[in-house]
């Protein structure tokens, strides 16, 4: 497999409904359909929508000649009880939508933010079991704090994935490189697949005039995260890669991708994207593609 394909295939789950793009549903669906027909469609994943808005997709399903692949976002909750009540509603909405549209749609995955940590291991196991019974893969969002390792352990025991929010529309929503690195290394050590969302429109870390802070780069996260897996980097070493703002630090070679001469082979990149570093939600597909073209990666 070509290195760029191994690293980037299906990388972007399209979140056009969400800030900062925050498109109306019809426009977001039509943009997603356009991207699916483009030359870089191999980089595109699923369409992200709140579970309780799934029924609103019905008028637009005729746009798609193949199965419309969806990630359902759960409402979550401020407590375990509130989360479970909302989960019931989310799962009912998913089942109703699936039943109504059959093979025309595939609701493949469920993502939601956990209640404020710590949460009980039994709660994590119960939620994960219900999602598994519903035929949904799952990524559970939480912030990096003192409960990082115990939460990863609970997710590992439940066979569930983790999700990290890497930004937003204000500077205070962007975690530090050290926090991102700790999350990736904790997920690696626990054997938990990791996904990312928000703030990852561009390949390499850079200062954003719009947000007035440094925004994370997805090449930093994926190439760095892969080196954490293949070279055994600790979070301190990984934080240095995540903080690197030089596009020249990253390179495609005939056999893989590199950060400052440290190689991740294509076969390892493909394997890790499949089971460890799953991809990202992004409200923009145009920006990642345009930047990668400018870098000569596409």
The stretch 107-116 carries a mean pLDDT of 98
Q: Give the structural domain span for 259.
A: 3-294
Per the structure, how many domains does the chain have? 1
Contacts of 248 (CB under 8 A, 6+ apart): none
Share of the chain above pLDDT 90, in %: 98
Share of the chain above pLDDT 70, in %: 100
What tens digit of pLDDT does each residue of 192-244 get? 999 999 999 999 999 999 889 999 999 999 999 999 999 999 999 999 999 99
Q: For position 84, which CATH number holds?
A: 3.20.20.70
Q: What's the pLDDT score for residue 1?
A: 85
CA distance 272 to 226: 7
Which pTM does this prediction carry? Answer: 0.96
Pull the structure tokens for residue 271.
Answer: 């394997």
Q: What's the pLDDT score for residue 145?
A: 92
């Amino acid at each position: 497999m070509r290195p760029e394909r191994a690293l980037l295939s299906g990388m972007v789950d399209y979140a056009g409904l969400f800030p900062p793009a925050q498109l109306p549903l019809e426009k977001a669906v039509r943009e997603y359909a356009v991207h699916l027909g483009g030359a870089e469609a191999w980089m595109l994943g699923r369409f992200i929508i709140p579970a309780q808005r799934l029924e609103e997709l019905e008028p637009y399903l005729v746009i798609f000649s193949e199965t419309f692949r969806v990630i359902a976002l759960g409402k979550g909750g401020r407590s375990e009880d509130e989360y479970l009540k909302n989960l019931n509603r989310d799962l009912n909405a998913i089942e109703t939508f699936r039943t109504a549209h059959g093979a025309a749609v595939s609701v493949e995955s469920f993502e939601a933010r956990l209640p404020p940590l710590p949460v009980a291991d039994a709660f994590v196991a119960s939620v994960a079991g219900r999602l598994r019974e519903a035929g949904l893969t799952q990524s559970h969002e939480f912030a990096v704090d003192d409960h990082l390792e115990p939460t990863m352990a609970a997710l590992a025991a439940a066979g569930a994935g983790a999700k990290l929010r890497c930004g937003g529309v204000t500077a205070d929503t962007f975690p530090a490189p050290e926090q991102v690195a700790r999350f990736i290394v904790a997920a690696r050590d626990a054997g938990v697949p990791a996904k990312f969302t928000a703030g990852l429109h561009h390949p390499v870390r850079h200062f954003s005039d719009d947000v007035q802070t440094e925004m994370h780069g997805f090449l930093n996260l994926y190439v760095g995260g892969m080196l954490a897996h293949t070279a055994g980097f600790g979070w301190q070493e990984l934080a240095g890669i995540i903080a690197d703002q030089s596009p020249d630090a990253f390179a495609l070679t005939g056999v893989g991708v590199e950060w400052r001469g440290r190689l991740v082979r294509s076969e390892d990149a493909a394997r890790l994207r499949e089971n460890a570093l799953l991809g990202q939600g992004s409200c923009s597909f145009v920006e990642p593609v345009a930047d990668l073209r400018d870098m000569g990666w596409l």
